[in-house]
Chains A and B, each alone.
Chain A
């Protein structure tokens, strides 16, 4: 089976940098995804890591260490619109995603 842990809530200040951690235990690994979800909306794809290292996409970066079962999502130059839930998800051998419970990020002025 798969188990994914991420913090429930985080608060950060507009303009700052925030790191959201995710640890996972899995019987099969075929990539780790980060999604953003605003309340009542669809989860939106942010990033994908399948090899160790850092993937950068504008203000968002994601890091993966497969040996440690660890990933983080880094958000730079925080904006108020970044207030949302951030979902860590692992894809197993059978292609289905297993999600963590999500981290609710509150960006304050």
Chain B
């Protein structure tokens, strides 16, 4: 069974540009989460989808971040325009109801 896959694995962009990260959850997992780890800090929650609906977006840092999950399958996280402090590793995770979350390998975003 395929795990959670994220694309791209690495992205280097200039300040002010736009980047879109993609996450494909495990098939059948209704819950999809985005997390972020910035340099030297702990992994922090960004938002949670249940199918195509945003269940909790309390962790989204500001309106430069937009997450979508059309059709309740894969999800995208767009950062527009990117700032230097957005650099970090963005993790996606998925789960069934009341089970552990399975994480992808993350997208390392570097904003220069």
Contact = CB atoms under 8 A, between A and B. Distances in A.
Size category of the A interface is 20 to 34
Interface of B: 3-4, 31, 33, 35, 41-45, 48, 55-56, 58-59, 91, 100-106
Contacts of A68: none
Contacts of A99: 35, 42-44
A75 interface: no
Given A42-B91, A94-B48, A96-B48, A102 B42 contact: yes
Given A42-B105, A96-B33, A101 B45 contact: no
Nearest to A96: B45
A48 B58 CA distance: 24
A95 B50 CA distance: 11
21 contacts: A33-B101, A42-B3, A42-B91, A42-B104, A42-B106, A45-B100, A45-B102, A87-B43, A94-B48, A94-B55, A94-B58, A95-B31, A95-B48, A95-B55, A96-B56, A97-B35, A97-B43, A99-B43, A99-B44, A100-B42, A102-B42
Contact of B103 (A43, A96, A100): A43
A68 B97 CA distance: 27
A44 interface: yes
A97 B35 CA distance: 9
A48 B41 CA distance: 23
A1 B101 CA distance: 21
Given A43-B91, A87-B43, A102-B42, A97 B101 contact: yes
Contacts of B91: 42-43
B112 to A, nearest CB: 20
A107 B58 CA distance: 38
A43 B37 CA distance: 12
Nearest to A93: B56
B25 to A, nearest CB: 13
B104 A95 contact: no
Contacts of A45: 100-102
